[in-house]
């Protein structure tokens, strides 16, 4: 059974949208990470509304039943789109960042949409994760990079770290001691919630996250991206290592329905270059 996904509708108060974009986030995130961008897009494209979605195990969505895979996340989103179609009307597009970008591609296999946005996510398979976390942390300058390497380092850090924390500041300090940037540490600290006993605990099921990240790396979705059936808008963050040189070369030779856009940003392009992301969405939404 699909997980029930928490979602937030963004639209101008003086407008009833005739089209909707479903927008989701990367691993460890939530749909609300994209609220500012969604509001700016709907201000300029008044016929559009945006549905910000928390994926399973993230934000306020259900944890979902195993297996915790990209395909399972896509099935959750498909079920939500079906429900939204009954209440909101025309869901015409989907967008996802990082892990959510692969979920958006997998959803394209299940739902007929006019447009699919893949925001700094590779369709390629990567090396599969080990079943258990590594024993030693990667510290120092290497750990401050953006992209998949940071995702893995953060997961391993959370797996080693204490389960509960007295203060958010203690968690932030622990993350920055591992060599990660303060902004990333503070963003992760937003996922600390009270445990009912006066302590704070991360909301994540770390075993489920490891399964999701492992499946993200093992899943190849080039066949979905290259198949006809609605436009695919691939946004590449120029300073991010997420899409390899081979990925970028294959995108350059992709079929005509695939459009590639480069933005001057790191992996968290909605933070590094929000204006460029808004400009692309406003210009390219049907």
CA distance 224 to 105: 7
Helix (H) or strand (E) holding 215: helix 206-218
Q: What is the pLDDT of residue 136?
A: 36
Which pair of tokens denotes residue 239?
A: 């300073």
Superfamily of structural domain 7-125+219-284 = Alpha/Beta hydrolase fold, catalytic domain (3.40.50.1820)
Of 98, 45, 93, 90, give the one whose Cα is nearest residue 70. Answer: 98
Q: What CA–CA distance (Å, rounded) separates 7 from 84? A: 10
Share of the chain above pLDDT 70, in %: 92
What gap in Å lies between CA 44 and CA 40, rounded to an integer? 7
The β-bridge relationship of strands 91-97 and 115-119 is parallel
Tens digits of residue pLDDT in 15-28: 889 999 999 999 99
Q: Is 90 exceeded by the pLDDT of residue 129?
A: no
- Alpha carbon dihedral 212, 141, 268, 201, in 10-degree steps, equals 50
184-220: pLDDT as tens digits: 899 899 999 999 899 999 999 999 999 999 999 999 9
pLDDT at position 128 is: 63
Question: Which pairs with CB-CB distance under 8 Å and at least 24 residues apart come from 170-174?
Answer: 171/200
Q: Can you tell me which residue has the tokens 């979902």? A: 64
Residue 133 pLDDT more than 50? no
pTM tops 0.85: yes
Cα dihedral sign for 203, 204, 205, 208?
Answer: positive
Q: Which helix (H) or strand (E) holds 206?
A: helix 206-218
Q: Identify the burial level of 171 via C-beta atoms within 10 angstroms of its C-beta, where 0-12 means exposed, 13-18 middle and 19 or more buried.
A: buried
pLDDT at 131: 56
* Residue showing tokens 């290259």: 226
Longest CA pairwise span in the chain (Å): 56
| pLDDT computed for residue 232 by the predictor | 98
In angstroms, how far is CA 190 from the centroid of its own chain? 16
Return the H-helix or E-strand segment holding 189.
helix 182-189
Contacts of residue 84, defined as CB under 8 A and 6 or more positions apart, other chains included, come to 7, 20, 22, 51, 91
Question: Could you tell me the residue ranges of all domains in the chain?
Answer: 7-125+219-284, 141-212
């Amino acid at each position: 059974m699909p997980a029930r996904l928490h979602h937030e509708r963004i639209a101008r108060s003086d407008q009833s949208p005739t089209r909707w974009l479903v927008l989701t986030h990367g691993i460890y995130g939530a749909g609300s990470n994209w609220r500012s961008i969604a509001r700016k897009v709907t201000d300029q494209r008044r016929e559009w509304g945006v549905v910000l979605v928390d994926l399973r195990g993230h934000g306020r969505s259900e944890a979902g039943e195993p297996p915790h895979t990209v395909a399972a996340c896509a099935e959750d989103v498909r079920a939500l789109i079906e429900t939204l179609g009954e209440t909101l009307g025309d869901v015409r597009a989907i967008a996802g960042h990082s892990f959510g970008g692969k979920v958006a591609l997998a959803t394209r296999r299940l739902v007929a949409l006019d447009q699919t946005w893949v925001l700094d996510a590779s369709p390629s398979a990567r090396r599969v994760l080990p079943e258990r976390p590594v024993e030693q942390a990667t510290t120092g300058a290497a750990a401050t990079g953006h992209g998949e390497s940071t995702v893995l380092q953060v997961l391993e850090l959370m797996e080693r770290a204490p389960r509960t924390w007295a203060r958010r500041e203690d968690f932030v300090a622990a993350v920055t001691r591992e060599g990660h940037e303060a902004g990333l540490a503070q963003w992760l600290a937003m996922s600390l919630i009270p445990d009912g006993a006066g302590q704070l605990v991360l909301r994540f099921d770390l075993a489920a996250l490891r399964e999701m990240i492992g499946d993200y790396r093992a899943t190849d979705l080039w066949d979905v991206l290259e198949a006809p059936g609605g436009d695919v808008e691939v946004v590449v963050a120029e300073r991010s290592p997420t899409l390899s040189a081979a990925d970028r070369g294959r995108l350059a030779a992709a079929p005509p329905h695939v459009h590639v856009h480069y933005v001057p940003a790191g992996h968290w392009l909605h933070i590094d270059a929000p204006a460029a992301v808004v400009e692309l969405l406003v210009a390219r939404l049907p």
